[in-house]
Amino acid sequence: MTGPTAILSPLDRADGSAAYTCPYTGLNILGSVNGPMELPGRRDAQRPEEATLEILVKPATAPSAVGERYAEGILKSVLGRIILGREKGFPRRGLVLTLVVLGGPTEELMGRGQSYIPVLPALLHTALLTLLSAAIPMSMTLTTTALAVNAAGEIVENPPLQVIKDAASLHAFAFSSKGHLLMNESSGCFDFDTWEKVHDRAYAICRGPKPSDRDGNLESVLRETVEDKIYRDYAYAINAA
C-alpha cells in the first residue's frame, strides 16, 4: 500500500489550504485557513499579546458533535504549541482553521460512540500542511501516527478499519521536528510496558531513518510534499537558470 498523499493550495480564495488522503483509514480531508484576521463581535476572544486560534472539524455528511469537539480541543492544544502567535501583526487577531472530511468511512470512524483517535493523525497532518501553505510562522513542524494493539498483544501500524474495531487499545502520537512528544492519546486496556513499545514504534515511524519507499518515515513524506510545491511555484526561475 502506498503512503499518504497531499496537495498544497488547492483552494484559490483561502490564505492557505491542503488536501490530504490517508490510505489506511480511507479518509479524504480538505483544510483551509484564514488569518491573521479581525474577529468581529468577539472582543472577549481576543488575546492582547498573541493570536487566537480557532479550529473547526466538520464531517462530510453529518453535523458536528461531541467527537468533533474533542478533536478540535486536541488539535488546538497541539498546534498552539508550535504556532508563533506573538509575531508582528498577530496579537488581537485570529487564525481560523477549518478541516472538512470529504470522504471515507466517516460513520465507522467518526460516528456516535466511536473513538476519534485513529482520525487524529490525518487531521493533524492536514492542519500542518494547511498552515505551511499559508506561511503561518511556526517554531517547528510535526508528524503523527496511529497504532493499534490487538488481542494477541501485537502492534499494528496504520491500522485498517477492521483492526481498529477489534483492537484491545488504540494510540495516537505526535512528535515535533525536534523530537518532542506533542500528543499522546490512548484508549482501551493496556499496561505501561505496552505503551512504551507503542511509543517507540510510533517514534520510528514518524522520525526514523528515511525509508526506501513512501510507506515509512512520515517526516520525509511531508517534506517532499512541501518541496514539490516549492518546485512547481518556482519552476520558471529554475528553468531560466
Query: Taking the domains of the chain in order of start, what are their residue ranges?
Result: 5-240
| Mean pLDDT computed over 30-47 | 76
Residue 92 confidence class, pLDDT cut points 50, 70, 90: confident
Among the listed ranges 10-14, 99-103, 222-226, which one has the minimum average pLDDT value? 222-226
* pLDDT tens sequence across 142-155: 999 999 999 999 99
- Supply the pLDDT for residue 214: 40
Inter-residue contact 25 to 105 (CB < 8 Å): yes
Q: 94-103 and 52-58: which strand pairing?
A: parallel
Q: Is the pLDDT of residue 211 over 50?
A: no
Q: Return the higher-pLDDT residue of 29 and 103.
A: 29
- Class for the domain spanning 5-240: alpha beta
| Mean pLDDT computed over 172-181 | 93
Q: 173-198 burial string, b = 16+ CB within 10 Å, else e? A: bbbbbeeeebbebbeeebeeebeeeb
Inter-residue contact 125 to 6 (CB < 8 Å): yes
- Supply the pLDDT for residue 40: 64
Task: Provide, rounded to the nearest whole percent, the portion of the chain with pLDDT above 90.
Answer: 52
Q: Is the pLDDT of residue 241 over 70?
A: no
The three three-digit cell numbers of residue 92, written as one number: 488581537
